Amino acid sequence: MISRDNAGTLHSIFAANDKHATDELGVLRLLRDEIGEEVIIILVHIAPFFCFGSSGESKKKGNLEACRERWTTAVRSLPRLPRELFHCHLHYLFPPQSGYRADVSINTANGDIIYAHASILGVASPVLKGMLKQSRRHDRRRSISIGGVPYEAVRVFIRFLYSSCYEEKEMVEHALHLLVLSHAFMVPQLKQACERRLEVGLLTLENLVDIFQLALLCDAPRLSLVCHRLILKNFKDVCATEGWKVMKKSHPVLEKELLESLIEAENRQKERMRKMEERKMYVQLYEAMEALVHICRDGCRTICPHDKVFKEDPAPCKYEACKALEMLLRHFAGCKMKVPGGCIHCKRMWQLLELHSRLCVDSDACRVPLCRNFKQRIRKQNKKDDIKWRILVRNILRTKCITGVPFFSSASS
């Protein structure tokens, strides 16, 4: 940390540099001897801001770019400052730690004052730069006001403008105020940090609605999306909070939008479940078609083609639908109600046989019963029924293409 003695030393050395300014390396060596190597490495990174302030004395030496160029040339022979060290120690060179050559006073809500430098604030925030241009001088200092937030939040905000760092404890305590300040004064790095911190660990059911409204006002789309999803996920609990009741009175339009989005989310969930059930049904139908071909071609358990021999110890069948399909085939073979529309089990078997014929490509070589007969019947079928079957076949093949390579291909396409 830079002490008051060191700050005075800096002032005297820079004053000497303003007068002579012929050998920057000599000035740097003198600074190194006076205040230590670590501090001088930090100092050379921000030296242009000291060389060119807002006072008339510093303006005589030229513009900021010329000063930066002089110091950059002089600094090349010195060790480069690690970024972490720079961010961790830079804020010690500035108010409220030292107040060295501060030319801006910031009035806070409770009457406290924070001193800062116009050059730093102008570079860090375009909004503050515009405010400083319009502000009036009082005793060689410009004065601006930042109200609506506590003094500590403003102090943490100004410190971030200097050093791009913050204490975790301060971020947790002032995250909402810092989000507002970073949005109002256009400091995107701090705004992103506040959003990330709020998303992780600071969102509760009690403050969810308030933070959601604040995220909308501060144009924080990611944070508002996270809050929106949490509200829909815990809608009943959120509706019982005080924040929801206040929002219901003050922003009825927002409440209406949330209710509409809840209904839309429920409808999407229902549609998703319906499609999942349909896909499951199509997969089961496809597996039943595979099992039917397997039974009629190779035989399985209790059913075997006439030209095949039963195995004494058959291996477990890989088709889950085989057992149920065997029972259905045995019922179909022995049922006395062979008329269409009679037995519900026979009707189901007729439908499976017709579905197979529409999936089968080579009916002449097919071992499934009635496959060729159904092919001939399809040609005489009316257009309306044929369209329904075509849609079913297409959906089955499409679903199987998603889950794996299809065993059949559409014979009617």
- pLDDT tens digit sequence for 351-368: 888 888 888 887 777 888
Tell me, what's the pLDDT at 348?
87
Q: CATH no. for residue 116?
A: 3.30.710.10
Single-letter amino acid code for the residue at 218: C
Q: Based on the structure, what is the number of domains in the chain? A: 2
Band the pLDDT of 17: cuts 50, 70, 90.
very low
CB half-sphere exposure, 314, CA atoms < 13 A: 13
What would the mean pLDDT of 82-92 be, rounded to a whole number? 51
- Is 131 part of any domain? yes
pLDDT at 68 over 60: no
Global pTM exceeds 0.85: no
Token digits of residue 197 = 């911190």
Band the pLDDT of 99: cuts 50, 70, 90.
low
196 in the same domain as 290: no
Identify the H or E element spanning 237: helix 235-239
Domain range holding 101?
A: 83-201
Euclidean distance between the first and the last CA atom of the chain, given in angstroms as a whole number:
81
Give CA torsion, residues 113, 117, 123, 127, to 10 deg. Answer: 30
**Segment among 41-45, 230-234, 323-327, 328-332 with least mean pLDDT:** 41-45
Q: CATH no. for residue 305?
A: 1.20.1020.10
Tell me, what's the pLDDT at 287?
87
Tokens 């999942």 sit at which residue? 276
Band the pLDDT of 130: cuts 50, 70, 90.
very high
197 in the same domain as 287: no
What would the mean pLDDT of 246-251 be, rounded to a whole number? 92
Check: CB of residue 98 under 8 Å from CB of residue 92: yes
Band the pLDDT of 70: cuts 50, 70, 90.
low
pLDDT at 179 over 50: yes
Check: CB of residue 360 under 8 Å from CB of residue 366: yes
Check: CB of residue 334 under 8 Å from CB of residue 348: no
pLDDT at 328 over 90: no
